[in-house]
Structure 1
Amino acid sequence: MSTTDVPLYQPEWLELREDADAAARAPELLDPLRAWLAGPGLRPGGLTVHDLGCGTGSMGRWLAPRLPGPQHWVLYDRDPALLGRAAAQTPSTTADGSGVTVLTRRADLGRLIADDLAGASLVTASALLDVLTRDEVNALVAACAGAECPVLLALSVAGRVELAPADPLDAEIAEAFNAHQRRGGLLGPDAVTVASEAFAERGATVRVHSSPWRLGAGESALTAQWLRGWVGAAVEQRPELAPRAEAYLERRLAQCAAGELRVVVHHSDLLALPGPLPYGGGVS
């Protein structure tokens, strides 16, 4: 990723999606992570967690209370305003009531190296893998492998969306959106597979678990904003869709406003643990 002063995501969008993200994240990956942190990953002085592309800090708000402390969070983002917001909203205590400290780093994640992660107990990120290229994913995996710590990468797009009621244009919009996700060499829906293979090649135990958004009448504001972005990206990729896509979006937004639309947006969470586990494991 190139360094820029323009944030990748607007804070309003990140805040709008936070509850859906929290509900979607795979808690099934936390038990093997906790076991590793309490066993081969046990380090004096508590946990040091590096949160890459932290945005408004939603991963810290979800994860810090679910891990034992004390914890020191190192937050990375290229937007200083997001860094400030994330730091201010990081939880002050952990699962056992221990304290949390925070450090922020404005950084280009495309240039991350193992030395940047020295001393890390855990590296984590949300909605990051799918906006990287293959070279960037390989560099990220190499940096994490060099740090010899677990990696929890949440909410990467899986390339599948389910809408009910169905519409004849659903599949065409989804195909164009997925092509947009892969523009310019970005991995999009292929990111978790590429990252899983890269971690496994470096001897890690990899687990992947589904983490879908399930959006109904109670999430209409998020659904409407997601629809606009989903259809907009599809039209950007295939401009010839514009006339039909405009009518499609109007239909879908009307269904959303009426509480009639249900959407499942599929994501995947990935956990990579250094080396083989004594109690088994592997890619799932």
Structure 2
Amino acid sequence: MTSISTATPGWLALRAPADDAARSADLADELAGLVNRHASSAPLLLHDLGAGTGSMTRWLAPRLPGPQRWVLRDGDADILEHLDLRTVVDADGGHIDSEVVVEDLEHLPRDAFEGAAAVAASALLDVVTEAEAAHVLAACIAAGAPVLFSLTVTGSVRVRPSARHQELEDAIAAAFNDHQRRDAEGRRMLGPDAVAVVAALFADAGWHVRRAATPWRLRPSERALAAQWLDGWVGAAVAHRPDLAEPAGEYLRGRLAQSAAGRLRVTVSHEDLLAWPG
């Protein structure tokens, strides 16, 4: 795997408000209780895996006690150039310390999280393989560090108003999900199966696991995000099933017209997962 990050800074900025609205505050609160056990005069050591532009750190740090020191890890040096944590504070109002590690996921050391109070990641699990997920889990388990994986896609999508040709929309959804599970250069990604697979791996290790539904609920006012999501959703489906190109193109044009008219609502299902030692 050459890079953890798979998105552009523009896409991450566009989706950030929907991400922040969707994430599970309940699981973050439970994580705060777990890391309180590490509280001392020294800063809490926290890792953000596949950090991108730092959206997970920006959302989570204010929900955890301070002081905090974050290690933001990503395989994409270019996207880390857009990292911005200048205004981030912990739950006590103190500014956080941070450092950046440019590192491919496959090279994550087993002792990477030694001394960590917690590990966090966002929109990561569905784009890794089962072996890569197990590699990350091994590092978490070795450190005994609780982990919060946020915003993993589940494959369930709801678009309203109802489609005129529901069979076509169902075919697009199925093709997208198959595309997410595709074998890419010898890597078969977990896609919509990711949360179930990772939850089972943690359970097999004797860890506690909690899951929470964290869907995007895009309103008509969020048309820019809905339009870009639709374009990517349909595009990935067609890449997997080229025979859908013509009808899917017509479907996309119709949905984009509904979005432009302020009529479209989209629900994109995700799950957050919190795991901690038994």
**TM-score higher than 0.5 here?**
yes
Identity, % of aligned positions: 51
- Structure 1: which 4+ aligned runs deviate by more than 3 Å? 41-44
Q: Alpha-carbon deviation of 1:217?
A: 1.0
Corresponding residue for residue 109 of structure 2: 113
Shift of 1:99: 2.6
Q: Are the equivalent residues in 2 in contact too, given 1:57–1:90 (CA < 8 A)?
A: no
Measured on the aligned residues, the alpha-carbon RMSD in Å equals 1.4
Partner of 1:74: 71
Counterparts of 1:212 and 1:92 in 2: how far apart (Å)? 25
Kindly indicate whether the alpha-carbon contact (under 8 Å) linking 2:2 and 2:75 is maintained by their aligned counterparts in 1.
Answer: no
Residue 146, structure 1, aligned to residue 142, structure 2: yes
- For residue 94 of structure 1, report the CA deviation from its aligned partner: 1.1
Q: Secondary structure at the match of 1:93?
A: coil
Letter paired with 1:109: L
SS in 1 for 2:2: coil
TM-score (norm 1): 0.92
Q: Distance in 2 between matches of 1:128 and 1:38?
A: 26
Aligned length, in residue pairs = 271
* 3-state SS of paired residue (2:275): strand
Give distance in 2, aligned partners of 1:43 and 1:78. 31
After superposition, the C-alpha distances for 1:149-187 in whole angstroms (9 at most, x for unaligned) are 110000000110001111122211100000000001111
**Alpha-carbon offset, residue 78 of structure 1:** 1.6
Say whether the 8 Å CA contact 2:3–2:76 is kept in structure 1: no
Residues 1:32 and 2:35 are matched in the alignment: no
Tell me if 1:204 matches 2:197: no
Equivalents in 1 of 2:88, 2:180: separation in Å?
A: 36
Task: Output the amino acid matched with 1:177.
Answer: F
CA displacement at 1:84 relative to structure 2: 2.8
Q: Is the 8 A contact 1:60 1:91 kept in 2?
A: no
Q: In structure 1, what is the equivalent of residue 162 of structure 2?
A: 166
* Residues 62 and 88 in structure 2, CA contact (< 8 A), matched pair in contact too: no
Gaps of 5+ in 2: none
| Cα offset, 1:46, TM superposition | 2.5
Asked if the contact 2:29–2:63 (Cα under 8 Å) also holds between the matched residues in 1, the reply is no
Cα deviations across residues 33-56 of structure 1 (Å, max 9, x unaligned)? 1221123x4455121111011111
Task: Compute the displacement of 1:200 (Å).
Answer: 1.1
Report the secondary structure of 2:18's partner residue: helix
Instruction: Describe the superposition over 1:62-106 as per-residue Cα deviations: whole angstroms up to 9, x where unpaired.
Output: 1111111111010111222322322x3354421111231010000
Describe how 1:118-267 pairs up with structure 2 within 5 A.
Answer: 118-167=114-163, 168=166, 169-184=168-183, 185-267=188-270
CA contact (8 A) 1:153 1:271 kept: yes
Name the counterpart of 1:84. 81
CA 138–43 in structure 1, closer or farther in 2 if over 3 Å, else same? farther
Residue by residue over 1:245-273, the C-alpha shift from the partner in whole angstroms, topping out at 9 and shown as x without a partner, is: 00000000000111101100000000001
Classify 1:216/1:239 alpha carbon distance in 2 versus 1 (closer, same or farther; 3 Å).
Answer: same
List gaps (5 residues or longer) in structure 1: 276-284
Letter in 2 for 1:181: Q
Report what 1:2 is aligned to. Answer: 2
Kept after mapping to 2: 8 A contact 1:177/1:234: yes
Alpha-carbon separation, structure 2, partners of 1:166 and 1:54: 36
Q: CA deviation at 1:137?
A: 0.9
**Is 115-124 or 219-228 further displaced after alignment?**
115-124
TM-score (norm 2): 0.94
Please say if residues 68 and 98 of structure 1, whose CA atoms lie closer than 8 Å, have aligned partners that are also in contact. no
Counterparts of 1:92 and 1:264 in 2: how far apart (Å)? 29
